[in-house]
């Protein structure tokens, strides 16, 4: 009986590897060479396992040689990530993902100078799988271990490819779990100057999608329907939060009442709810305009704070990062705002926006150069504080 259950689990999660075609330039002018061992170029194997993506990447002297990502489809049926299933899927995926990342990079185990892993924040079980694997490998190969903060890595994804921002720069990091404005003075010196006090921007997208009856993760679908809709059709409120912090929970409630009222003039009141059939009909007839209007408000909340941060700090090198930076509305409005206010704008390639080990590898590269290594006693942490 027990064995049956395990075997069933083994079958529900076939490994699907997303492999990225690599075409990168080095971050410095140093000539790249295949004889990297002789030149002692730092070669780092990085592992990312903070949530529901198992990823491994190899980086040599700041150049990404491979970046493999195994996504976990098992969560779709539950409408969100199930932590225990995520940990188990990481355990299944981690050996083949690391193996292919090493092979595709064209290196052997003896070329590896250090092993990096995501230490925090994330789901604790998922982090433990990547962390234990990284420690075991570092011990077996007798190479140093580098622990990486996932949010710092999202910011430094902007340093993977040309053009790279000059320091100091501001980065709006928008993901499923976080929304932050970070002031980055150097690769390893950064400070959070604004963040969400409740939901993250990605959650706002995903929860909107859920209310509209769209499958998880709904952010990309809201983006897709928004492209076909009129963003000025429905007006959602902008929260009045002091300073550079964000809030998305009021918007979420406004959308809920708006849908329950089928878009009547009493948009943000609870007591005018229509029947379930009327609500569904309203969504079916107006899906594109609702998505466009909600997306428009989420984007304006994000960019108004970013503009404020730029004005307050005087910094005009501005980046975005994290899964939500894949959103076409955000990307377009960010570029437009950049043109208007004469910013130098930077957006990482799509595959470096959502969770990936390449961003862990590039962060580890700078830590390697600074000699910032971790002992084998380092433990993963679910919490988001910067270390
Ligand atoms: P986390 O690190 O918190 O797991 P990621 O950086 O992987 O988050 O980003 C995942 C989030 O990005 C999800 O909330 C997802 O809905 C959102 N997302 C991805 N693509 C888009 C898009 N095109 N538009 C809006 N949101 C998106
Ligand atoms: Mg992330």
| CA-wise closest residue to 156 among 245, 62, 78, 74 | 62
Of all protein residues, whose CA lies closest to atom 13 belonging to ligand 1? 176
Do 289 and 186 lie in one domain? The reply is: yes
Q: What percent of the chain has pLDDT over 70?
A: 87
Which residues does 309 contact at the CB level (< 8 Å), separation at least 6?
170, 181, 183, 193, 194, 244, 315
122: left (phi over 0), alpha (psi -120 to 50) or beta: left
Q: From CA 348, how far away is CA 158, in angstroms rounded?
A: 5
Tell me, yes or no, whether 18 lies in a domain: yes
Q: Is residue 180 assigned to a domain? A: yes
Closest approach atom of ligand 1 to CA 218: 16
What integer pLDDT is reported at residue 383 of this predicted model? 84
CA angle 386, 313, 363 (to 5 degrees): 35
Domain with 240 in it: what CATH number? 3.30.420.40
**Residue 177 Cα to ligand 2 middle (Å):** 7
**Which is more confidently placed, 130 or 263?**
130
The span from the CA of 255 to the CA of 74, in Å, is: 28
Closest-lying ligand 1 atom to the alpha carbon of residue 81: 4
Same-domain check for residues 363 and 269? no
Q: Is residue 3 part of a domain?
A: no
Q: How far is the C-alpha of 102 from the C-alpha of 204, rounded, in Å?
A: 37
What pLDDT score was predicted for residue 147? 97
Same domain for 188 and 336? Answer: yes
> For residue 29, is pLDDT > 80?
no
In a domain, 186, yes or no: yes
- One domain for residues 182 and 99: no
User: Do 77 and 118 have their domain in common?
Assistant: yes
Residue 355 Cα to ligand 1 midpoint, Å, equals: 9
205 and 327 part of one domain: yes
Q: How far is the CA of 175 from the centre of ligand 2 (A)?
A: 6
Are the CB atoms for 376 and 139 separated by under 8 Å?
A: yes
Identify whether 57 is part of a domain: yes
In this prediction, residue 146 carries a pLDDT of: 98
- The residue segments making up the domain with residue 187 are 169-347
Mean pLDDT of 139-162: 97
What's the predicted TM-score (pTM) here?
A: 0.88
> Which protein residue has the closest C-alpha to ligand 1 atom 1?
176
The length of the chain is 387
* Residue 385, domain member (yes or no): no
**Residue whose structure tokens are 């590039």:** 362
Residues with CB under 6 A from ligand 1: 51, 175-177, 202, 205-206, 217, 219-220, 223, 322-324, 326-327, 354-355
- Confidence check: pLDDT of 284 > 50: yes
Confidence of residue 363 (pLDDT cuts 50, 70, 90): very high
Please report the pLDDT score of residue 268 as a whole number. Answer: 61
Using CA atoms, how far apart are residues 18 and 128, in angstroms rounded to an integer? 23
Residue 6 has pLDDT above 50, yes or no: no
**What is the domain count for the chain?**
2
Q: Crossing angle, helix 219-226 and helix 328-340, to 10 degrees? A: 70
Per residue in 68-110, pLDDT tens?
998 887 787 777 788 889 899 999 999 999 999 999 999 999 9
Residues 208 and 152 occupy one common structural domain: no
Tell me the CA–centroid distance for residue 145 and ligand 2, in Å. Answer: 21
Same domain, 18 and 153: yes
Output the pLDDT for position 130. Answer: 97
- Given this model, what pLDDT does residue 19 score? 60
Confidence of residue 4 (pLDDT cuts 50, 70, 90): very low
Determine the pLDDT at residue 31.
42
- Position of tokens 């993506």? 53
Comparing 29-38, 74-83, 261-270, 315-324, which segment has the lowest mean pLDDT?
29-38
My answer on whether 341 and 267 are in the same domain is yes
- The reply to whether 1 falls in a domain is no
Average pLDDT over residues 313-342: 97
Q: Let me know whether 211 and 145 are in one domain.
A: no
Please check whether residues 45 and 121 belong to one and the same domain.
Answer: yes
If asked whether residues 195 and 333 sit together in one domain, one would say yes
CA 79 to ligand 1 centroid distance, Å: 14
Contact at 8 Å (CB) between 24 and 40?
Answer: no
Confirm whether 387 is domain-assigned: no
């Amino acid at each position: 009986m027990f064995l049956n259950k395990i075997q069933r689990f083994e079958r529900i999660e076939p490994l699907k590897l997303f492999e990225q075609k690599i075409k990168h330039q080095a971050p410095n002018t140093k000539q790249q060479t295949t004889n990297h061992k002789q030149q002692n170029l730092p070669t780092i194997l990085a592992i990312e396992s903070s949530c529901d993506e198992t990823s491994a990447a190899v980086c040599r002297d700041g150049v990404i040689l491979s970046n493999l990502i195994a996504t976990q489809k098992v969560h779709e049926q539950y409408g969100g990530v199930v932590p225990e299933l995520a940990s188990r899927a990481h355990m299944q995926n981690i050996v083949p993902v690391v193996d292919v990342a090493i092979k595709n990079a064209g290196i052997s185990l003896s070329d590896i100078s250090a092993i990096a892993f995501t230490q925090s924040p994330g789901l604790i079980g998922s982090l433990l799988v990547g962390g234990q694997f990284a420690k075991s490998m570092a011990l077996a190969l007798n190479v140093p271990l580098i622990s990486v903060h996932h949010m710092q890595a999202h910011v430094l994804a902007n340093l993977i490819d040309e053009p790279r921002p000059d320091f100091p720069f501001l980065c709006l990091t928008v993901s499923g779990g976080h929304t932050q404005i970070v002031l980055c003075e150097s690769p390893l010196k950064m400070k959070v100057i604004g963040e969400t006090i409740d939901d993250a921007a990605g959650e706002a997208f995903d929860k909107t999608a859920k209310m509209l009856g769209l499958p998880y993760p709904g952010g990309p679908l809201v983006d897709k329907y928004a492209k076909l809709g009129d963003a000025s059709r429905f007006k959602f409120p902008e929260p009045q939060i002091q300073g550079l912090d964000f809030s998305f929970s009021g918007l979420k409630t406004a959308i809920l009442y708006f849908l329950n009222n089928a878009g009547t003039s009493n948009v943000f009141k609870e007591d005018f709810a229509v029947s379930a059939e009327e609500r569904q009909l309203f969504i079916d007839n107006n899906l594109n305009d609702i998505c466009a209007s909600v997306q428009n408000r989420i984007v304006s909340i994000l960019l108004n704070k970013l503009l404020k941060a730029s004005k307050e700090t005087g910094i005009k090198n501005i980046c975005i990062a994290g899964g939500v930076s894949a959103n076409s509305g955000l990307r377009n409005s960010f570029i437009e705002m950049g043109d208007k206010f004469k910013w130098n704008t930077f957006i990482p390639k799509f595959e470096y926006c959502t969770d990936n080990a390449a961003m862990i590898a590039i962060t580890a590269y700078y830590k390697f150069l600074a000699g910032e290594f971790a002992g084998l006693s380092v433990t993963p942490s679910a919490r988001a504080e910067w270390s």
